[in-house]
Chain A
Amino acid sequence: MNEPILRIEDLVVHYETRTGVAEAVNNVSLEILPGETLGLVGETGAGKTTIALTIMGLLPQPGGHVIQGKITLDGEEITRYMTNNRRQSNKNDKYFRKIRGNKVGMIFQDPMSALNPVYTVGEQIAEVIRLHNKVSRAEANKKAVDMMELVGIPGERFKNYPHEFSGGMKQRIVIAMALACSPRLLIADEPTTALDVTIQAQVLELMRGLRKEFNTAMLMITHDLGVVADICDKCAVIYAGQIVEYGTLEHVFNNPKHPYTLALFAALPSLDTEVERLQAIEGLMSDPMDLPEYCSFYDRCNHRCDACKNCDPALTEVEPGHFVRCLRISSEEEEK
C-alpha cells in the first residue's frame, strides 16, 4: 500500500494583485505516504500556507490562481476542480466542501480565535461529524465526547464555551475537530506557534499518538526545526516558493546540503558552545512580486559564485530520496 495520500506535482500558484503578480509557489512537487508526516519548513512568506490553502481549495479570491501542476489526494486529482470557470464554480464548491473536514483536516496556528465563541466546543465538534456523516444528533454528540476524551479533555466539558478553556486545551479541541471524521490527511499550519513550550511539547506528543492511532498522513507546516525533528519523517525546506532541499529527516538534518538549510541550522542556538549573538541570515527574502531569473537565494548565499547568477538551478538527487536545488551540488554531481 504505497500509493501516496497526497502527491503534488509541479505546482505553481500565483496571486494576481493590482500592483503585480506574486509568484507564491513555484514548481513544488512532494509526496506524502499513508501514516507519514512531512515537515514543510520555511520563513514567513515562503509559500507554506499557500500550499496548504491550495490543497483545501481555499486560495484567497479574487487573486489566487493555480497556474499549473497537479494535486492528487487519495488517488483523486483535485486540481480538476480548481478551474476558474464560472460555470463550474458551483460544482467545484460542492466537491471541496465534501473534502474539507472529511478527507482533509486542518489545524490552525491560533487556537484562541479558531473556535466559534457562541457555541459550545462539543457542538462544534459534533457539527463537523454531522456535516459529513448521516448520523443523528445524539450519535454525533456521543462521537464528539469520544473525540474530546481522545485528545485528553474530560467529556463533561462538552457544554463549555471556548473562552472557558486555556490555549493548549483549545488547540486540543481544534485537533479533535480536525480528526473527527478520520481524515486521510491532516494539515497542521504552525499548530504550536501560539503555544508556550511546555504545552507545545504536550500537543506534539498528542499529535504523534493520534497519528499512529488514525494512520493519518500529515503535512506539518512550521518554521521551527525543533518541531520537525520531533515529529516528522520527511522534511521539505522551502524558500521563495521553491523547495530547496527535500529528503528524509536523516538526510536533511544529518547531511544538509543547500546553503539555505545550512544557514538555518547555523542560526540555531547551540547548547555546547557559548555564543554572544545568534547567527542570522543576512538580508531579506526576495520579493515574490519580483523574483530573480537566477537562483532566488543568490543574494543571501555564503557560497555564491558568478555561475550562480547565470542559471536557475534544478533539484538534483544527491543520494536516493534526497534532493537539493543548488548549482554547486549539481555541478559536483556532474563531475562524478
Chain B
Amino acid sequence: MAKMYTPAMAKLDKKRSRSRSAQRPSSPAREAWIRLKRNRLAVVGMVILAILILTAIFADVIAPYGIDEQNYTDALQGPSLHHLFGTDNYGRDIFSRVVYGTRISLPIGLICVFIAYLFGGVLGALAAFYGGKADMIIMRILDIFQSIPPMLMAIAIAASLGTGVVNLVIAISVSTMPARARIVRAAILSVKNSDYVESARCIGAGSRRQLLKYMLPNALGPILTNITFSIATAILTVSSMSYLGLGIAAPTPEWGSMLSAGRSFIRTAPHILIFPGAAIMITVLALNLFGDGLRDALDPRLK
C-alpha cells in the first residue's frame, strides 16, 4: 500500500522542523504542559496571573502616585485621565493603591498556602503512609481542628493575637491546615497501593525513598490543583478579614481594607469600592480558571 501523506502530517512535519525539541522524550510534566497550553480558558487565567505578578514586581514603575499621597483638592473624584480609577475621600489615587495592593494580596495568599501545606502536607503524608494507629491519631486531632469553621477560627486567632500581617498569616494557615492535610492524605492513599510502589519495595527502597520518589510525585496532580484553588481562597480570606478590621490595618493598600474604608461612600462615590472589588474578583477568577485548566491537564481522564 502506498504511504498516504495527509495535511495533518504535513503540519506536524513543519512544526517539527521548526523546533528541535520534538525529539525530546516527553515527560508527564511536559505532556501536562502541552495539554494546559491547549486549554483556552486556562491560558486566559495564566495571562491574567502573569500580568498580576508583573504588576506586583513593577508596582513602583506602574503606579503614578504613592500609596498615601493625599491631595484634598482632588478628593472623591471619579475616574479620569489623571486618576484612572478616581480618588478616595483623602484624595489618594485608587489606581496606584490597587496596583500596590497586588504586593500585599498575592504574597500573603502564597505564603498562607505554603505554610498550611508545609505542616498539613507533612501530617497528611505521614498519616497516609504509616496508616493504622498513626493515621488514626493524626486525623482525629485534625478532625477536632476542622470541627471549627475555618473563618471563625481565623477570626478567633487573629482577635487573640492582634492584627498585623504575621498574625493574619498564622490565623489563615492554621485554620486551613486540616483541609490541606486531608488533600495530601487522600492523594497519597490513591497511589499507595499501586504496583510501582510495590516494585519500589522489591528493589529494596526504604520508607523515605518510597514516599518521596514514588508516592509524592505521582500524587502531585490533585495537590497542585488544590494549591491554586487554595491561593484564591486565601486571598479572599485575607480580604474578608481586612474588611472586618482583623487583617491589615487601614493605610496599607490591602484590597479588603480599601473596601472597608470606602463602604460609607457606596452611594456617592461607588468607584472607591468597585475597583478594589474588581481586583479581588479578577485575581480569584484567574486563579480558578488556571486551577480548572491544571486539573484537566494533570488528569485527562477526569474530563
Contact = CB atoms under 8 A, between A and B. Distances in A.
Contact of B204 (A108, A114, A131, A160): A131
Nearest to A174: B199
Contacts of B198: 58, 108, 114
A132 to B, nearest CB: 7
Interface in A148-205: 159-161, 163-164, 174, 177
Nearest to B215: A116
Interface residues of B, number: 22
B25 A114 contact: no
Nearest to A103: B204
B203 interface: yes
Contact of A127 (B27, B203, B206): B203
B142 to A, nearest CB: 24
Interface of B is mostly: helix
A278 to B, nearest CB: 31
Contacts of A114: 195-196, 198-199
Interface stretch (A3-11, A94-102, A298-306): A94-102
Contacts of A96: 204
B202 interface: yes
A97 B26 contact: no
A101 B202 contact: yes
Contacts of A56: 202
A37 B85 CA distance: 81
A255 B195 CA distance: 38
B149 interface: no
Contacts of A127: 203, 205, 213
A117 interface: yes
B205 A108 contact: no
B108 to A, nearest CB: 32
A97 B200 CA distance: 10
A116 B215 CA distance: 9
Contact of B196 (A101, A115, A131): A115
B218 A118 contact: yes
B300 to A, nearest CB: 12
Nearest to A189: B202
Contacts of A116: 196, 200, 213-214, 217-218
A113 B201 contact: no
Contacts of B213: 116, 119, 127
A110 B217 CA distance: 21
Smallest CB-CB A-B distances: 3 pairs: A101-B203, A100-B204, A113-B195
Interface of A: 56, 58, 62, 96-102, 106, 108, 110, 113-120, 127-128, 131-132, 159-161, 163-164, 174, 177
Given A108-B202, A127-B203, A164-B25, 4 more contacts: A99-B204, A108-B195, A127-B213, A177-B203
17 contacts: A56-B202, A58-B201, A96-B204, A97-B204, A97-B205, A98-B204, A100-B204, A101-B203, A101-B204, A102-B204, A106-B199, A106-B202, A113-B194, A114-B196, A119-B213, A128-B204, A177-B203
